[in-house]
Amino acid sequence: MTINNKTMTDLERKAALSLTDTERVVLTDQMNAVLACLDVLRACPDCPPAEQESPCPLRADEVCPSTDRAALLSNAPETDGTFFFVPRTVE
């Protein structure tokens, strides 16, 4: 894929740019260089990433008992039995 003068003019209009002829030529060349780099990347084979060893062992994902809700709510200044209330900080 390459950017030609018509495509560049369309992009210029859609981006609300006002380029001089010299700027348009320079920008077209730069965009074509970027697209050429992308074509090189597209030619690279897709390989899945290699499995990596973790530097530290991961713990097992196990269900653990949670803290008792009543014990948590007993420390709250005000509660409705399920949630605790906090003072309003933004008016």
What pLDDT, in 10s, does the model give residues 12-29? 999 999 989 999 999 999
Q: In this structure, is residue 21 part of a structural domain?
A: yes
Q: In this structure, is residue 74 part of a structural domain?
A: no
Q: In this structure, is residue 62 part of a structural domain?
A: no
Cα gap 78→91, rounded to integer Å: 20
pLDDT tens by residue, 14-71: 999 998 999 999 999 999 999 999 998 888 888 777 777 777 778 888 888 888 888 8
Q: In this structure, is residue 9 part of a structural domain?
A: yes
Q: In this structure, is residue 28 part of a structural domain?
A: yes
The whole domain housing 32 covers: 5-43
* pLDDT band per the 50, 70, 90 thresholds, residue 2: confident
* Residue 88 Cα to chain centre, angstroms: 33
Q: In this structure, is residue 14 part of a structural domain?
A: yes
Q: How many distinct structural domains can be found in the chain?
A: 1
Task: Sort 3 into a burial class: Cβ within 10 Å, 0-12 / 13-18 / 19+.
Answer: middle
Q: In this structure, is residue 12 part of a structural domain?
A: yes
Dihedral of the CA atoms 12, 16, 21, 22 (nearest 10)? -90
pTM above 0.75, yes or no: no
